[in-house]
Amino acid sequence: MKKFIIIACLLIAVSGMAQQVERGTVLIKNGTVLTITQGVKENTDVLIKDGKISQIGKNLAAPAGAKVIDATGYHVMPGIIDAHSHLALDAVNEATTPVSAMVWEGDDLDPLDVGMYRAVAGGVTISHAMHGSANAIGGQCQTIKHRYGTVDPKVLMMEGAPRTIKFALGENPTRVHGNNGAGIVPNTRMGVEFVIRQAFSEGKEYMESWNKYNASKNQKGFRGAPPRYDLRMETIAAILRGEIIIHCHSYRADEIYMLLKVCKDFGIKRLVFQHVNEGFKVAPELAAQGAMASVFADWWAYKFEVYYSTAYNAAILTRNGVVTSINSDDAELTRHLYHEAAKTQKYGGLTDEEALSLITINPAKQLGIENRVGSLEPGKDGDVVIFKGHPLSVYAIPMYTVIDGVVKFDREKDADDQRLYVDPKQTIDITDAVFEETLSHDHDECMKNAEFLLNVKFADKNR
Amino acid sequence: MKKIMYILLFICAGVAAFAQSPKGKYGTFVLTNATIETVTKGTIANGTVIISNGKITYVGAATTAPQGAEVIDCKGKWIYPGFIDGGTNLGLSEVGSDQRTRDLNEIGEVIPQMQALTAVNPNSVLIPVTRVNGVTTVLTAPVGGMFPGTAALINLHGYTPDQMYVNFKGVVVNFPSTGRRGGFDRRTDDEIKTASEKAMKKLNEVFDRAIQYHKLDSATKSKGVEYYPEMEAMLGVVRGERAILLEVNAAKDILEALKWIKERKLKNVVLTGCREGWRVAADLAKAGFPVITGPVLALPSRDYDRYDKAYANPGLMKKAGVKVALRTSETENVRNLLFNAGFAAAYGMGREEALKAVTIVPAEIFGVSDKLGSIEVGKMANIVVSDGDPFETKTNIVHVFIDGWQIPMVSRHTQLYDEFLKREPGVNKSQK
C-alpha cells in the first residue's frame, strides 16, 4: 500500500512537471544584434537566463551550465511573430452560426502539428492560432508559443497573453450563411453590419442586466433572480469592456470602414484588421481611430475582393501611421516571414527597422504582448532567431531558433529524416500533400471546416 | 489672361495624358555603363547593349550610339536577359476563386487538343504586374485530367495571343499517381493499386491509338483519316516533334515514369514538378531528361522530411547532374519567380546555376535558346535592367524590354500606390 502511494505521488509529481514550461539559459556570443527598438549593435552578446533576456552587451560571461552559441558573422533578432495562423489547430471554423463567440481555439490545440516545427525552423516563435472566417463574429483565438516537443496543449498557450477573437466581413460570412449557404442573415455586407450591431447591442443589455443584479443582490430586501448565464454574451460583454482584442478578417475598404464606425459607436478601441487588402484605401481613417492592420506582403487576385489590391499596402499603411504587421495565414508562408517583410522594401522602400518591425514588435502590439516579446531588451522573453546573412536578404538562412532560452531549432543538427525510428527497408509511399493543389489557389486555411456548407467543389474553396 | 488659359489647357492635357495607360515603345535603345550578366558569355563591366528592330544588335564596350537611338544611362545598374518561368497559368485565369474568369481547366480526361494559347487574355491585369518585376516570358499551361491540353510559351507583351507566342508548345500529361495522397486519401491499398493500374492502362491506350493514327495518317498522307481532334493533337507527340510535358511528383511515380518513357522509347520529354526529384536524383540524371521544378517556396512532401527539402530540391537535382529549370506554378504571383530562384540559390543550387535555371536552361528546354535566355547578339530583345542583384528581395527592376518593346513600368499595383500613398482628401473632405 505504501509503495502504491509513493508511485501515485511520483506520478502526480511527474504529470505536474509535464505542464511546466521549460526555460533555459543561453549565451549568444558576438553577433550583429538587431534589437528592433534600440538599434543595431555590432559584435554584441545576448544573455538569456532562465528564459528571459538578462543582458545585452559586450564580452558577457556565460553563467555555469549555460549553452553558448557563437554567432560571429550572424545576425541575431527577436523571434518572429505571426499574427495570423492556423497552425496547431484541430478545428478552424465553427461554421454553424453567424455569431460563435462562445467557442475558443484554446480548446483544440494540437501540440504534435509538425507545421509548428517547420515554422520554428523559419524563425517563428509565436503565432496567433485563429478561428476561421466563416462567421461575422467567429470564435476566440489563442496566442501560442511554438514550444514544439511538448505533448501538453496547455504548454503551448502563451501565459498572460490577452484574449482575442476573430471577426469576418464580406464574402466568407455571406456565402457560408446567406443564400448560397445556410440561407440565413447575413447574405450581404448590410447583413454583416446588422449581425455585429445586434450582437453588440444584446451583449450590452446582457452586461447591464448583470451589472444591475450584481450591484443590488447584496442590498437588504433584494428579491430578484440572477440573469441567465450565456457564454456567447459573456464573450461579447468582455469585448465591450475592452478585455478582448478584435482581429477582423476583411478585404474591402467599405467593410473596414463599416466596422470602424460600429466599434466607435460601441466604444470599442482594441481593433486589428486582418488581411485588410484594401486597408491602404482607408489608411487615414484607420490611423485616426488607432486601429491596426495585419496584411499579406503580396497576395492578391485569388478572389474578387482582392482584385483591386496592391503589394504596396504595408508601406502605404505604415507611412500613414497605422501599426502594421505582415502575417502568413499559411503553413508554408509562415516559414519565410522575414522574406515577406523584405518585400516592403521593394514595394514602398521601408527601412530595415520598419520592415523588421512588421514581423516582430508590431504583431506583438496587435496581440497585446509587446511588453513581453517583439524586441531584444533585458527583461523580455528569451525568444531569439539567429540568421546566416541579413534576415531581409533573399539568401538569409535561419540557423538557430531559441524559445524561452531553449534552443528549439539548430540547422546543423537537424536530421535529414525526421522519423524517430527509421527502418531503412521500409518503403512509404504516402506523400503529405495532394500534388494537384500545387496548381490551385488554396494557399491558406481560413475556410477549413466550412467547406461542407458551400455549394462549391473542394477545389474551389478559398480563403 | 490668355497666358492663364494656356497654362490651364496645358494642365488639362497633362491630366488627360496621365489618365491613359502608357503604351510600349519600339525603336533603337542604347543601354550604357551597365554591368551585363550575359549568362552564357560571362559578365561585362561598364558595358553597352544596343536594341534595334526587336533584336539585340550589340553587346560590348562601345560608347557611341547609332543616330536617332535613345540612350539610357544604366550607371550602377545591372542587365539581364528577360526571366523565364517554366510553368504558370498566367493569362488563363484572372480571379482565382471565380470560375467565370478561369479558362485553364476544360472538361475531359483526354483533351490534348485544348490550346492554352487560345485562352490567353493579353489584357489580363495580372500581366503588367508580372512583367514589371522582370519576368518577360512564361510557359502557360492548362490543368485537369490526364491530358488537360497543350501549353504554350508566351512573351508578356502583345495585344493578341499570336503577338505573344514564342514558338514552343507542349502537350501536358499528368502521369498516374501510384501512392496514397496524404491523410485525406481513405482508399484501401487494393483500391489504390487498381486505380493506378487502370490509369496506366488508359495512358497506354491513348498512346497506342495515337501511334495507329500516326500510321494511318502517314500512309494516307493525311487524307484517309477522319476528324479526330485528340489524336491529331497527339500526332506531333508520337512523331517526336512536339514535347510531352510529363507532370510527375512522388519519387516512386518518377521512377515509374522513367520506366514508361523507356518502354515507349520516347525522346522529346520534359519532366515537370518532380517535387521529390531529390529522392531519385541519380535516376533522373541517368535518364537524361530535363526537369522543370517548383514552386521552390513550398512545404516538404512528407511529414518526416527535413523542413527545407523543397528549397533544396533544385540544387540536389542539379548536383546529381539533372538539367533543372524553375517554375512558380503561379498565376497572379508569377512575379515571385526570382525569389524562388533566390531561395534555390541559398539552399544549395548556388546563384550562378539558379540564374541559368530562370534564363538559358528553360530557353534550351523549350528549344528557343536561339531567341531567349542570354544577352547575345541576334537574340530577341527580352532585357531586364535592375538596380541590384535581381534575386535580392529589395532590388527594383527599372527597365524591361520585351521583343524589342520598351515596357511601361506601371501596373495596377504601382497605380494604386501612386493614388493612395497620400490620399486626397484625407480624413476630412473639406480641408486637405
- Dump the DSSP string for A409-441: EEGGG--SB--SS--TT------SS-GGGGGS-
A59 and A165 share a domain?
no
A458 or B33, higher pLDDT: B33
Which triple of cell numbers denotes residue A236?
A: 461579447
Q: Are A377 and A57 in contact (CB under 8 A)?
A: no
Residue in chain A nearest B126 by alpha carbon: A301
A22 and A128 share a domain?
no
A408 and A274 share a domain?
no
Is residue B1 predicted with pLDDT exceeding 70? no
As a whole number of angstroms, the distance between CA A361 and CA A353 comes to: 10
Within 13 A of B414's CA, how many CA atoms are on the CB side? Answer: 17
* Overall domain count for chain A: 2
Write out the residue limits of the CATH 3.20.20.140 domain(s) in chain B.
Answer: 83-372
What fold does the segment set B83-372 form as a domain?
Answer: TIM Barrel (3.20.20)
As a whole number of angstroms, the distance between CA A156 and CA A232 comes to: 25
Cα–Cα distance list, A52 to A23, A56, A370, A404 (Å): 8, 12, 14, 6
Does A432 touch chain B if contact means CB atoms closer than 8 Å?
Answer: yes
A408 and A444 share a domain?
no
CATH homologous superfamily, domain B18-82+373-432: Urease, subunit C, domain 1 (2.30.40.10)
pLDDT given at position A444: 52
For B62, counting Cβ atoms within 10 Å of its Cβ (0-12 exposed, 13-18 middle, 19+ buried), the class is middle
Identify the weakest region by mean pLDDT among A12-16, A92-96, A303-307, B329-333.
Answer: A12-16
Q: What is the DSSP letter of A362?
A: H
As a whole number of angstroms, the distance between CA B258 and CA B271 comes to: 9
Chain A residues touching residue B423 (CB < 8 angstroms): 281, 283-284, 320
pLDDT tens figures, A173-194 = 999 999 999 999 999 999 999 9
pLDDT averaged over every residue in chain A: 91
Q: Which of A311, A298, A294 is nearest to A357 (CA)?
A: A294
pLDDT tens figures, A436-451 = 443 334 445 677 777 6
Q: Looking at the partner chain, which of B97, B304, B392 has a beta carbon nearest the beta carbon of A441?
A: B97
Scored b (16 or more CB within 10 A) or e, A57-78 reads eeebeeeeebeebebeebbbbb
Can you tell me the mean pLDDT for B121-127? 98
For B350, counting Cβ atoms within 10 Å of its Cβ (0-12 exposed, 13-18 middle, 19+ buried), the class is middle
pLDDT given at position A416: 86
Domain membership of residue A35 as a residue range: 17-78+374-413
As a whole number of angstroms, the distance between CA A113 and CA A26 comes to: 26
Chain A residues touching residue B344 (CB < 8 angstroms): none
Which triple of cell numbers denotes residue A252?
A: 474591402
- Confidence bin at A435 (pLDDT 50/70/90): very low
pLDDT given at position B422: 97
pLDDT given at position B15: 44
The distance of A338 to chain B (nearest Cα, Å) reads 10
Name the β-bridge partners of B102: B93
Is residue A209 predicted with pLDDT exceeding 80? yes
- Percent above pLDDT 70 for chain B: 94
Does A416 touch chain B if contact means CB atoms closer than 8 Å?
Answer: yes
Q: Are A360 and A80 in contact (CB under 8 A)?
A: yes
Q: What CATH number is associated with residue A193?
A: 3.20.20.140
Can you tell me the mean pLDDT for B24-47? 97
Is residue A5 one of the residues assigned to a domain? no
Chain B residues touching residue A300 (CB < 8 angstroms): 332-333, 413
**The complex's ipTM?**
0.94
Can you tell me the mean pLDDT for A29-57? 98
The distance of A83 to chain B (nearest Cα, Å) reads 20
Q: Which of A61, A57, A68, A65 is nearest to A27 (CA)?
A: A68
pLDDT given at position A19: 62
Chain A residues touching residue B96 (CB < 8 angstroms): 301-303, 441, 462
pLDDT given at position A395: 98
pLDDT given at position B64: 84
Query: In chain B, how many H helices and how many E strands?
Result: 13, 17
> Which of B99, B188, B307 would you mutate first to test chain A, the one with the most A CBs within 10 A?
B307
- Sign of torsion over alpha carbons B54, B57, B63, B65: negative
Is residue A12 one of the residues assigned to a domain? no
A5 or B107, higher pLDDT: B107
Residue A413: other Cβ atoms inside 10 A:
8
Can you tell me the mean pLDDT for B145-166? 98
pLDDT given at position A4: 59
Residues for chain B: how many in total?
A: 432
Strands (E), B266-393: 269-273, 291-293, 324-326, 383-386
Can you tell me the mean pLDDT for A66-74? 98
Phi, psi for residue B173 in degrees, rounded to 5: -130, 120
Is residue A162 one of the residues assigned to a domain? yes
pLDDT given at position B431: 62
Which triple of cell numbers denotes residue B225?
A: 483519316
Which residue carries 480563403 as its cell?
A: A463
As a whole number of angstroms, the distance between CA B132 and CA B362 comes to: 20
Phi, psi for residue B207 in degrees, rounded to 5: -70, -40
pLDDT given at position A462: 41
Is residue A10 predicted with pLDDT exceeding 60? no
- The DSSP annotation for A272-324 comes to EEEE-TTGGGGHHHHHHHT-EEEE-SS--SSSGGGTT--TTHHHHHHHTT--E
As a whole number of angstroms, the distance between CA B333 and CA A356 comes to: 23
Phi, psi for residue A214 in degrees, rounded to 5: -65, -35
As a whole number of angstroms, the distance between CA A317 and CA A291 comes to: 11
Residue in chain A nearest B426 by alpha carbon: A284
pLDDT tens figures, A309-323 = 999 999 999 999 999
pLDDT averaged over every residue in chain B: 94
Peptide bond connecting B295 to the previous residue in cis, omega within 30 degrees of 0: yes
pLDDT given at position A199: 98
As a whole number of angstroms, the distance between CA B318 and CA B324 comes to: 6
pLDDT given at position A450: 74
| B412–A310 C-beta distance less than 8 A | yes
SS3 A45: strand
pLDDT given at position A434: 44
Does A332 touch chain B if contact means CB atoms closer than 8 Å?
Answer: yes
Does A121 touch chain B if contact means CB atoms closer than 8 Å?
Answer: yes
> Which of A87, A429, A448 would you mutate first to test chain B, the one with the most B CBs within 10 A?
A429
pLDDT given at position A452: 60
As a whole number of angstroms, the distance between CA B130 and CA B425 comes to: 31
A342 and A442 share a domain?
yes
- Confidence bin at A15 (pLDDT 50/70/90): low
A403 and A447 share a domain?
no
pLDDT tens figures, A109-126 = 999 999 999 999 999 999
3-state secondary structure B174-243: ECCCCCCCCCCCCCCHHHHHHHHHHHHHHHHHHHHHHHHHHHHHHHCCCCCCCCCHHHHHHHHHHCCCCE
pLDDT given at position B16: 44
pLDDT given at position A426: 66
- Confidence bin at B7 (pLDDT 50/70/90): low
> Which of B95, B97, B180, B293 would you mutate first to test chain A, the one with the most A CBs within 10 A?
B97
pLDDT tens figures, B393-418 = 999 999 999 999 999 999 999 999 99
DSSP-derived pairing of the beta strands A26-34 and A74-78: parallel
Residues for chain A: how many in total?
A: 463
A281 and A401 share a domain?
no
As a whole number of angstroms, the distance between CA A439 and CA B294 comes to: 11
pLDDT tens figures, B174-218 = 999 988 776 677 888 899 899 999 999 999 999 999 999 999 999
SS3 A385: strand
| B420–A460 C-beta distance less than 8 A | no
Can you tell me the mean pLDDT for B326-337? 98
Residue in chain A nearest B178 by alpha carbon: A429
What is the helix (H) or strand (E) element at residue A355, kind and residue range?
helix A352-357
Can you tell me the mean pLDDT for B270-274? 98
A364 and A397 share a domain?
no
| B125–A346 C-beta distance less than 8 A | no
As a whole number of angstroms, the distance between CA B93 and CA B126 comes to: 9
The distance of B209 to chain A (nearest Cα, Å) reads 27
- The DSSP annotation for A167-210 comes to EE-THHHHHHHSTTTTS-S-SSHHHHHHHHHHHHHHHHHHHHHH
A325 and A277 share a domain?
yes
A357 and A378 share a domain?
no
A401 and A348 share a domain?
no
Phi, psi for residue B110 in degrees, rounded to 5: -125, 90
- Note the Cα B84 to chain centre separation in Å: 5
Packing angle of the helix pair B189-219, B229-238 (nearest 10 deg): 80
A216 or A14, higher pLDDT: A216
Is residue A10 one of the residues assigned to a domain? no
- Percent above pLDDT 90 for chain A: 84
pLDDT given at position A419: 80
A182 and A315 share a domain?
yes
Identify the weakest region by mean pLDDT among A41-55, B81-95, B186-200.
Answer: B186-200
Is residue A23 predicted with pLDDT exceeding 90? yes
Is residue A4 one of the residues assigned to a domain? no
As a whole number of angstroms, the distance between CA B193 and CA B361 comes to: 36
Q: Looking at the partner chain, which of B275, B297, B420 has a beta carbon nearest the beta carbon of A336?
A: B297
| A285–B329 C-beta distance less than 8 A | no
